[in-house]
Amino acid sequence: MRVVARSLLLGAGLAIGTTLCGIAASPVRAAERWIEAEPTSQRVTSLWKEGTVATLREMGRSFVRIATDGMGHPTVAAMRGVAPAVDARRQFVKVLLRVQGFENLSGVELRVGSDSLASSWYSYTVPLFSDLDYNLLQDGEWTAVTMSLGASNAVGKPERGAIDSLGILVSDKGKGGVQLDFGGFAVVDEPAEGVVSFTFDDGYKEHLRAAKLLAERGWRGTAYVIPQAIGSSTYLTVADLAELHRLGTDVAAHDNPPFTELAPNDLEPRLRGIQSFLVEHGYALGAQHLAYPLGKQETRRVRPTVNRLFATARLAGSGPETLPPADPHLLRAWNVTDSTTPEQVGEAARRARDNHEWLILMFHWLPEKTVKATDYSMPNFERALDEVAKTGVRVAPVTEVWSQIASPPEKELATRATTGASPASPAR
C-alpha cells in the first residue's frame, strides 16, 4: 500500500477533473495524507458473494470497480488491514468515487473502522435524490466525497485513533446493475474550529429583517439574490440590498430557472449578467459566490462554467460540509424548512462546533406564518438564532470562510472572473 503525505492548495475555480488522473491531482489546502492512492482488487476485496470487484486502469492510474448484480442485492467491498493504523482524531476522510448507471443506484454507504470492520465502524450514507441534477454524485463523474467521523453514525465502539479499514456498500434498485468506481481515500486535517453560515435564497423582503437580527448579535450572513426579481412585490429593492450589505450580510449570486434548463449558448451570458449586476451595485465580493437555482447542476456544461466564473457554488442539500470542502463548487448545505425546529438547528450547530464542521444553513421565505414547506417562520428563525448562540459556535458568511481557506492566486482568479463580466441586465 502506498501512503502519500502532502499539503497543497484547494483551488477555487479549479474543476475536479472528469478523469481519475485529474481528480487525484486536484490540490487541497489542508494537510492531506493518502492512505490508498491507487487501489487494486488485491487490497480491496468483496465481503459478500453478491456483485464483483475488479481492478481497472485509466490514464495510467489504477482504481477498483465495485459492480452490483442488478437484482437489488447490496455489494460490499472493503480495504482492511491498513498498517500502520491511522490516527484520525483530528482528521476527516476523503474518498474518490464515480458512479456508472446512476439511474439504477439506490444507496452508497461508506464505513471507516478500527477492527477491520468486524463490529465497529463510522458510517456515512451518501445522500441520493430522485432528481438526478440535485445530487452531489453525478453519473460518469469522479467526485471527492468527504466524511466527518465525529458527525457520522458510530456502530459498536470504533477507535478514531486507530483506523485500519474502509468499507463501501453499494446497492441497486433491482432493475439493472450499478458500477461504483473507487479511486482511493485520504485523511485530511480538520480546522481548529467549526463554523456556521446563515444563507438566504432568492432575495425576499424578510431577509432584511433577518440581516438586522444577525447584526444585533455581531453576526453576518450571505444573501443569494435573483437580480431579475429585485424590486418586485415580495422581494428586496435595490435600496434594501444596500441596507442589507451595510448591516454586514454579503449579497451573492442566485437565479431562476435552474441552469440545467438553459440553452447552451445562454448559460455563460446569463451568469456574467448576474455578476455584473452585483459588481455594479457594489457587491463584487459576493459576485464570486453562487447558489445553484433549486440546487441543480450537471457535469457537462453547468459545473465547468460555474467552476470558471465563481469561487464557490452552494448546493441545496446533502447536509453539513467539511472544512476545507472536497469541492468549493459543490458546497453541501442543510435546508431549513417548516418542519425543522429551532432546537434541531441548535443541535446541528452544536455538532458543527464539536466536530469542526462547516454548517451552511439555507433559508428561503421567512414569513410570520409558513405557507409552503420551504418556508421558515420568522418567530422560529429568531428562536433558532437563540439556539445557535447558546452553542458559542463561530458564525461567519460564506465569503469570509472561503477567504480563510483560499490562496492569494485563487482569490485573484475569482476577482478576474467577476471583473470580466458582461454588462448587467436592467434591474428594477
Q: What is the pLDDT of residues 57-101, one digit of tens each?
A: 999 999 999 999 999 999 999 999 999 999 999 999 999 999 999
Lowest mean pLDDT among 38-42, 63-67, 95-99, 331-335: 38-42
Residue 420 pLDDT: 58
Return the percentage of the chain with pLDDT > 90, whole number. 84
Q: Is a pLDDT exceeding 60 seen at residue 12?
A: no
Q: Is a pLDDT exceeding 50 seen at residue 122?
A: yes
Q: Is a pLDDT exceeding 70 seen at residue 176?
A: yes
Average confidence score pLDDT of the chain: 90
If pLDDT is split at 50, 70 and 90, which confidence band does 413 have? low
Lowest mean pLDDT among 21-30, 345-354, 387-396: 21-30
If pLDDT is split at 50, 70 and 90, which confidence band does 425 have? very low
Q: Is a pLDDT exceeding 50 seen at residue 1?
A: no
Lowest mean pLDDT among 33-42, 152-161, 275-284, 302-311: 33-42
Q: What is the mean pLDDT of residues 131-143?
A: 94
Q: What is the mean pLDDT of residues 16-24?
A: 42
Q: What is the pLDDT of residues 210-230, one digit of tens each?
A: 999 999 999 999 999 999 999
Identify the residue with better confidence: 137 or 5.
Answer: 137
Sorted by where each begins, the domain ranges of the chain are: 4-189, 195-419
CATH number given to 195-419: 3.20.20.370
- pTM of the full predicted structure? 0.90
Contact 298, 260 (CB under 8 A): yes
Q: Is a pLDDT exceeding 50 seen at residue 9?
A: no
Q: What is the mean pLDDT of residues 12-41?
A: 59
Domain 4-189 listed as CATH 2.60.40.10:
no
